[in-house]
Every structure is written in C-alpha cells, then in structure tokens.
Amino acid sequence: MQWHKLMGFGIGLGFWAMAAPAQAYNDEHRQQLLETNECQNCDLSGIDLSGADLQRAKLAGSNLIDAKLTGADLDFADLTGANLTLADLNNAKLEASTLDQAILLRADLENAKLKTAILTRAILTHAKLQGANLNDANLIEAEISDADLSNTKIRRAKLIEANLRNTNLNNADLRNSRLNQANLSLANLQVADLSNANLSHADLTRAILDEATLQSTDLGAVTLRDAHMREATLRNANLRQANLRNIMLSNSDLRNADLSYSDLRNADLSDSDMRNADITGVELDTVNLCNTKLPDKSVSDQGCHRRGE
C-alpha cells in the first residue's frame, strides 16, 4: 500500500471539507431512508439522525459529511464507500457494519461500538476514536494516521499494512491483534498492551512504547530504530532480526526473548533483565548494558562509566 499517496489524498480532502460551505441534505433522500431504511448514493450531508434506529441500513456511497449520528444504531449497516467526513458518531453502534473504503476524515467516533466492523482501506485520518471498541474489527490497509485511539479496545483486530503513523494509542488494548507490516512510526503506544500481537516487519521508527506490554509478541524483523521502550515488558517476545539501533530499552524485561541476529548498535539496555534471552549473532560492543542482567545471569558493568558509576 502506498501510504504517502493516501495521506496526501486524506489531507487534501480535509482542507476541502473544512473550506466547503455547509451542505443541506436532500429531503427526498431523507424520507426515502426513514421509510425504506435504504438510500444508496444519497445526499444526506448535515442530516441529524442522532439516536436513530438504522440497523441494517443500506447507505453505500452516500454523502454523510457533517452528519449528526450521535448514539445512532447502525449495527450491520452497509456504509461501503460512504463519505462521513466530520460526522459525529459519538457513542454510535456500528457493530458488524461495513465501512469498506469509507471516508471518516476527522470524524468523531469516541466511545463508538465497532466490534467486528469492516473498515478495510477506510480513511480515518485525524479521527477521534478514544474509548471506542474495535475488537475483532478488520482494518487491513486502513489509513489511520494522526488519529486518537487512546484507551481503545482493539483486541484480535486485523491491522495488516495499516497506516498508524503518529497515531495516539496510549493505553490501547491490542492483544492478539495482527499488525504485520503496519506503519507505526512516531506512534504513541505508552502503556499499551500488545501481548501476543503480531507486528512482524512493522515500522515503529521513533515510536514511544514506554511501559508497554509486549509479552510473547512477534516483532520479527521489525524496525524500532530510535524508539523509546523504557520499562517495557518483552518477556518471551520474538525480536529476531529486528532493527533496534539507538533504541532506549532501559529497565525493560527481556527474559527469554529472542534477540538473535538483531541490530542493537548504540542501544540503551541499562538496568534491563536479559536472563535466558537468545543473543546469537548480536554485536553488543556499543550497547549500554550497565547493571543489566545478561543471558548467563551475570550482571554487566558495560556503559556504567557513561553515567559516572
């Protein structure tokens, strides 16, 4: 997926949406929706359907820019390709809904229920998703850059090749999710739980994962260059062939982790626990290992002179 092209489209759309005058919905389209629960490719921009029962509604391709759907029930609805830019979906129910290729640029989805929703290739740039439930959702190749997903539930979700660059995932629950080849560069994953998740080949360059839990997580061939992972839990994690150059991993739990053939040049692993970790093929000469418990259970003093110990 070419993230830079999609990002450019999303940003351009954002400027268009903010600059465009407010649009009034087509009243005939509104009546059609309320009477038949179906209005595909309709103009419903700016409509207020707060709290409406729209279960299984067919709204594919419709214009719902700036629509007010607070607390609406859209479970099992078809919103394929719909434009929900700036829409208010706070506390909306969207479980098992289809939002494939939908545009949700700057949409408000705080506390929305999106369990098992299909959001493949959807655009969620700058969207607000704090506290939302995305458990078991399909977000493959979704554009989610600069969005706020703090305190979200995203367990067992599919985020393969999704773009989450600069996204706020603070305290998010991503256990057992699939993030293979996802772009998480500059993302905030502080205190997030990624236990048993698959992040193989993902890009986490300069990401912040302080106090994150990555127990038994697959980080094979991941890029974590210049990332911050202080006080992280990586017990039993797979970091084989990972790029960990300049990473800050101090005070972290790396017991039984597989670090074989990873690049740890200039990394800071001071005060960490590496007992029983696999460091086959790893060059440690430039690594700060001050007070670190090594795989053989000895304690290293390498790098202690840098902080005057």
Nearest alpha carbon to residue 119 among 68, 165, 162, 173? 162
Per-residue pLDDT tens over the stretch 49-108:
999 999 999 999 999 999 999 999 999 999 999 999 999 999 999 999 999 999 999 999
* Burial status of residue 284 (CB atoms within 10 A of its CB: 0-12, 13-18, 19 or more): middle
Per-residue pLDDT tens over the stretch 242-278:
999 999 999 999 999 999 999 999 999 999 999 999 9
Contact 252, 233 (CB under 8 A): yes
* CB-CB neighbours of 35 under 10 Å: 9
pLDDT number for residue 149: 99
* CB-CB neighbours of 19 under 10 Å: 7
Per-residue pLDDT tens over the stretch 20-56:
445 589 999 999 999 999 999 999 999 999 999 999 9
d(CA 187, CA 212): 12
Q: Residue 112: pLDDT above 70?
A: yes
Over the range 64-76, which residues count as b (16 or more CB within 10 Å of their CB) and which as e? bbbbbbbbbbbbb
Question: Which token pair is 56?
Answer: 């299984």
pLDDT number for residue 103: 99
Radius of gyration of the chain (CA): 22
pTM of the model: 0.91
Per-residue pLDDT tens over the stretch 179-231:
999 999 999 999 999 999 999 999 999 999 999 999 999 999 999 999 999 99
